[in-house]
Amino acid sequence: MTTTLPDPDDPTRPTGHACVQSYLASLDNSPGVYRMLDAQARVLYVGKARSLKKRVSNYAKPSGHSPRIARMISETASMMFLTTRTETEALLLEQNLIKQLKPRYNVLLRDDKSFPNILITTGHPFPQITKHRGAKTTKGAYFGPFASAGAVNRTLNQLQKVFLLRTCTDAVFEGRTRPCLLFQIKRCSAPCVDRISRADYAQTVRDAERFLQGKTTGVQEALARDMEAASDAMEFERAAALRDRIRALTQVQSVQGINPRGVAEADVVALHMEGGQACVQVFFIRANQNWGNRDYYPRTGAGADEAEVLQAFLGQFYDNKQPPRLVLLSHDIEDRALMEEALSHKAGRKVSVLLPLRGEKAELVSGAARNARESLARKMSETAAQGKLLSGLAEAFALDAPPRRIEVYDNSHIQGTNAVGAMIVAGPEGFVKSQYRKFNIRGDDLTPGDDFGMMKEVLTRRFQRLLKEDPDRKGDTWPDLLLIDGGAGQVSAVAQIMNDLGVADIPMIGVAKGIDRDAGKEEFHRPGTRPFALRHNDPVLYFTQRLRDEAHRFAIGTHRAKRAKAVGATPLDEIPGVGATRKRALLSHFGSAKAVSRAGLADLKAVDGISDSLAESIYGFFHERG
C-alpha cells in the first residue's frame, strides 16, 4: 500500500501534526515502512514499524517528542507507506531506503566500502595466495574480512615468510624459466621451476589454511617436529629454514594484538558519542585472531540517542556484508531480537547479537569502546582545525562563507595521449575520497595537449550532469568553490565555460606556480581581479597547496593506470568471445598478437580452449581487417 502525495500547490493542505493525523484513518496494524516528506517532497525520515497505525499515531501527538523529532514533524507535509509481511522485512527495507535516499533526520552510515580478504585459489596444481576485494567469483578459499588493505598486506607478507606460497598470477607462473627474486629472499618456494614437489606444496597450502582458520598450535607443532627431525638427520640448512618459518609464524601471531581464546568469530562494535557526533569502532575477530579494526563516523540524524545510532549502523553496515556468527555490542539497541533475526536471515545461519557484561567478551568491547572514544577525540580535533582553515580560506578569497564543498580540477596526459581529467573534493571533514571523479577525455576534435579544451570538456560534463540531477541546487553535491590549477588564462577560460553553462555564480580561484615555479610563491587569480599572493607562512597557503597537490596526485595516478592498460592492450581485446583466459592461451601458443593475426584457421583450432566457431571468428576478424 502506497499513499498518494498531496498537491504541493494546495495552500490548504495540513502540515506537521495535522498532516500526520490525516493519514491515521487509512492505516491498519500491518508492519511496514513509512516515509515523512517536506513541502518539496524531499524525504525527511524513513522508519519501520511493527504496526504502522500505532507508530504513526505517536507522531500525531502534539507533545512528548525530542527536539529532533519535533522539528521533523513540523516540516512534514506528506507521508508514504509500504506494508510488508513481517517486521524483519520492514527492517531490511528501511535500511535499504535509508542508504538510497539519505534522509536528513536518519542516522546514516557514510563510509560503506567493502573489505579485503585473503584468497587461496583452487583449480591449479600450485595454488596462489593473494589479496581479494569484491565479489567472490574466483574459485578458492576465502579468509576474512580484514579491516584494511594494510592489514591484509601485513598478514600476507608474514605468511609468505612462513609458508612460501606463490603470489604471482597464473600467466606469470607459466612463463617463468628460472626462480624470481621472491625465491632468493625466501618468500616463495619456486614451484614454477619445480623447486618443490606438488605434494610438499600441497602440504604447505593445507598448513596455511589451518593457520588462517585459527589452528596455529598444530601448525607450529608440526614445524617443530620437522625441524627436530631435520636436525637429527644433520640436514642443518633445512632445519634452519624451518626455524626461520617458526619465528615468522610467532611474529604473525604477536602483531595481531588481540587474540581472544574464547571468541573464534565475531565483530566487536562499540559506539562513543560526544558533542552531537558519533564514532563506531568495529574490530574483526576471525579464527581467534584480530584481523584489524576500522572506525566509522555516521551522521547522527541531528540528535539520535545511542540505541538508535547503533541499530541504524548495524542495519546499514551488514546490508552488503556477510555477518559473523557473533556480534558484540557496547550499547543495547531498540530491537535486538529483531536484528538477530534479520542478520540470521541474511547469513543463512544463526547470528547472535550480544551485550556482554563480564569476561573476555566484555574486555573486547571495552577495548573497542576505548578506541572509539580516542578516535572521535582525534576526529573532532581535526575537524576543528579544518574549520579554521576553511574560515581562513573564505577570508583570504573574500567568500561569503566558509565553503562546505571545494572541487579541485586537474588534467594529465603525455603530449595529448591517454588524456584524463580529475576532480577531487574537500570539505569540513577533509578530503572526501568517495566523491572523487575521473573523466576520460573523449573529444576527438581536441588538439593534442589542448589543456583548455580538456578542462572545458570536464567542466561541461560535470555541471551538465549536476543541472540535470539537481537543477534547484537543493542537495549537497553543488560546490561552493572551484580551484583550478592555472593562472589568468585558465581562469578566464573556465569563467567563460561556467557562464555558458549558466553557473557563473560559483566562486573560482586559479592557483598559479608564481615566480620560478617555487612552492610558496603561488599567485591566486579570480575573474575580474588582480592576481595576489598570500604570506609565505600562511596556513591557508599550505592548505591550497595540499588541495592542488592532491588533485595532481589523483590525476597522475588515473593517467598512469589508463596508460598501463593501453600498453597491455592488443587487437585480441576487440574480438567477441575472447576473454582474459583465451587471450592468454592464444598468446602462449603463438607468442604475440601479430602471430595470431597471421595464423591459419587450422592452427587457431589447435589452441586449447579455442572452439572451431571461435577460431573462425578470430580468423575472420583479422582477415576482414586485412
Query: What is the pLDDT at residue 12?
Result: 61
User: Which of 3-17, 113-127, 345-359 is least confident?
Assistant: 3-17
Comparing CA positions, the residue from 380, 382, 383, 384 lying closest to residue 372 is 380
Task: For residue range 439-468, list pLDDT tens digits in order.
Answer: 887 766 666 667 777 888 889 999 999 998
- CA–CA separation, 297 and 434 (whole Å): 14
Task: For residue range 368-422, list pLDDT tens digits in order.
Answer: 999 999 989 888 888 888 899 999 999 999 899 999 999 999 888 665 566 788 8
Joined together, the cell numbers standing for residue 366 give 571495552
Q: Checking DSSP bridges between strand 523-525 and strand 32-37, what pairing results, if any? A: unpaired
Domain parsing of the chain, residue ranges: 16-101, 117-255, 265-377, 406-565, 571-625
Task: For residue range 515-560, list pLDDT tens digits in order.
Answer: 655 556 788 988 888 888 888 888 899 899 889 889 989 888 877 7
Q: Does residue 67 have a cis peptide bond before it, meaning omega lies within 30 degrees of 0?
A: no
Report the CATH architecture of 571-625: Orthogonal Bundle (1.10)
- CA–CA separation, 403 and 425 (whole Å): 11
Class of domain 16-101: alpha beta
Q: Where does 265-377 sit in CATH, by number? A: 3.30.420.340
**592 or 314, greater pLDDT:** 314
* Average pLDDT score over residue span 179-198: 90
Residue recorded with cell 581485446: 573
Q: Do domains 265-377 and 406-565 have the same CATH topology?
A: yes
Torsion 32-38-42-43 (CA) sign: negative
CA distances to 86, 163, 259, 619 from 157, in Å: 47, 10, 19, 45
Class of domain 406-565: alpha beta
Mention every residue, 6+ apart, whose C-beta is less than 8 A from residue 511: 483, 484, 485, 486, 522, 523, 524, 544, 548
- CA–CA separation, 45 and 31 (whole Å): 17
User: What secondary structure, in 3-state letters, does 363-397 show?
Assistant: HHHHHHHHHHHHHHHHHHHHHHHHHHHHHHHHHHC
Eight-class DSSP state of 5: P
**425, 430, 431, 433 alpha-carbon torsion, rounded to 10°:** -100
Question: Is residue 33 scored above 90 in pLDDT?
Answer: yes
Torsion 319-321-327-331 (CA) sign: negative
